[in-house]
Amino acid sequence: MQLPDALAPEPTIRLRIDEQALAHNWRALDRMSGKASAGAAVKANCYGLGVDACVPVLRDVGCDAFFVAHWSEVEALLPHVDAAQIAVLHGPVRDDDVRFAKATGVVPVLNSLSQVRRWNAAGGGRCHLMVDTGINRLGIAAGELGEPEIAKLNVDVLMSHLACADEDSVRNQTQLKAFRECLPAVQHNRASLANSAGIALGAEFGFDLTRPGLALYGGIPRPELASTIRQVAFVDAAIMQVRTLCEGNAVGYNGEFIAPSGMRVATVSLGYADGFLRSRGPGAALQHGDASLPVLGKVSMDMIVVDVTDAPELGEGDWLHVPMHLPDEAVQSGLSQYELLTVIGSRLR
């Protein structure tokens, strides 16, 4: 049964994407990439923010290289961008993946000699090639670049990935040097090394194409980006019920919060199924104007309880703001900025 849109009730939870902030972030990262142009990592549904909301903005501001991890992520992008602008980072793990690439025109990132053989066996064509320079996840070893199968490839982007770009680690220079040494070994059109944090490491990390993800969506992996990158994701949740507690009343599962005295609390439509994980609970607070409303007790799947004693004007249906300033929330919760975004639940869309 198809329900008419007009029938859909207003939700009690919402995610707003600031499209101007997203466009600004891409432009800023593109500028910081020096002579390189910036692409965009749009894997994991644009880090949880939604392909349909983000990819058209990135396309319209000038981005023309989009990276996903899985072949299954391609379909959501195809209404928005040309298949030839989409690259799949995991590469062709199975023969089916090659068939899919051939049929759609999406570009595989080849990560191993077996992926290279698989691609060549199907006739080859434009591809990207990942070389490992020290992260030891995916990528051809530098020592394999002389293999005859590699020489047969039509490599557009020769790439590698930094392991420690968010730190001041000597490994960044080691990987840069290793990547430079790989460049003469393989014919290619463009070279690409930097993710968001890598862009902030300096122009020598830019090469021809950069691949920011996190910073596009408001993450700040290095302090150099703090003054430039704007918050993109804004989350609000509505109050479903307000109640009065007496001294000694316990709140939520396992009664972890016990009211020290009478207080007014609100039950809010936001839980770990929406991406507000239990680790965000202790010490966290929602906001309403200038009022800070501490989270009480355990985060449930679909709700949390907050202290609204100091905000007597609040009642059922009122919207509360969920803080999403990623660097602060990461410190507060012990989660990475990446995790805070990618766990945002589908009920917010």
Ligand X SMILES: *Cc1c(COP(=O)(O)O)cnc(C)c1O
Q: Which residues pair with 244 in a beta bridge?
A: 264
DSSP string, 106-137: PEEEE-SHHHHHHHHHTT--EEEEEEESS--S
Q: 43, 217, 272, 298: which one is catalytic?
A: 43
Is 204 in a helix, a strand, or coil?
helix
Per-residue binding letters, 11-50, with ligand X (x by CB under 6 A) = ------------------------------x-x-------
For the bound state, the minimum distance from the C-beta of residue 163 to ligand X, rounded and expressed in Å, comes to: 11
For the bound state, the minimum distance from the C-beta of residue 35 to ligand X, rounded and expressed in Å, comes to: 19
* Separation between Cα atoms, residue 245 and residue 15, nearest integer Å: 30
Classify residue 10 by its DSSP letter: P
Q: Please say if 43 is a catalytic residue.
A: yes
C-beta closer to ligand X: residue 22 or 299: 22
Residues 60-119, interacting with ligand X (CB under 6 A): 89
Is 154 in a helix, a strand, or coil?
strand
Q: Please say if 35 is a catalytic residue.
A: no
Residue nearest to ligand X (CB): 213
Spatial CA neighbour of 150 closest among 178, 180, 129: 129
For the bound state, the minimum distance from the C-beta of residue 195 to ligand X, rounded and expressed in Å, comes to: 3
Size of site (CB under 6 A) for ligand X: 11
For the bound state, the minimum distance from the C-beta of residue 131 to ligand X, rounded and expressed in Å, comes to: 11
**β pairing state of 154-159 and 190-192:** parallel
Question: Is residue 345 a contact residue for ligand X (CB under 6 A)?
Answer: no
Sign of CA dihedral 192, 193, 199, 202: negative
* Separation between Cα atoms, residue 248 and residue 258, nearest integer Å: 5
Spatial CA neighbour of 199 closest among 183, 215, 179: 215
C-beta closer to ligand X: residue 49 or 296: 49
C-beta closer to ligand X: residue 15 or 200: 200
Tokens of 30: 């593109």
* Separation between Cα atoms, residue 257 and residue 288, nearest integer Å: 22
User: How big is the CA angle at 86 (ends 84 and 90), to the nearest 5 degrees?
Assistant: 125
For the bound state, the minimum distance from the C-beta of residue 136 to ligand X, rounded and expressed in Å, comes to: 13
C-beta closer to ligand X: residue 214 or 259: 214
Q: 102, 253, 272, 338: which one is catalytic?
A: 253
Residues 185-244, interacting with ligand X (CB under 6 A): 195-197, 211-214
Per-residue binding letters, 150-179, with ligand X (x by CB under 6 A) = -----------x------------------
The residues annotated as belonging to the active site are 43, 253
Q: Which residues bind ligand X (CB under 6 A)?
A: 41, 43, 89, 161, 195-197, 211-214
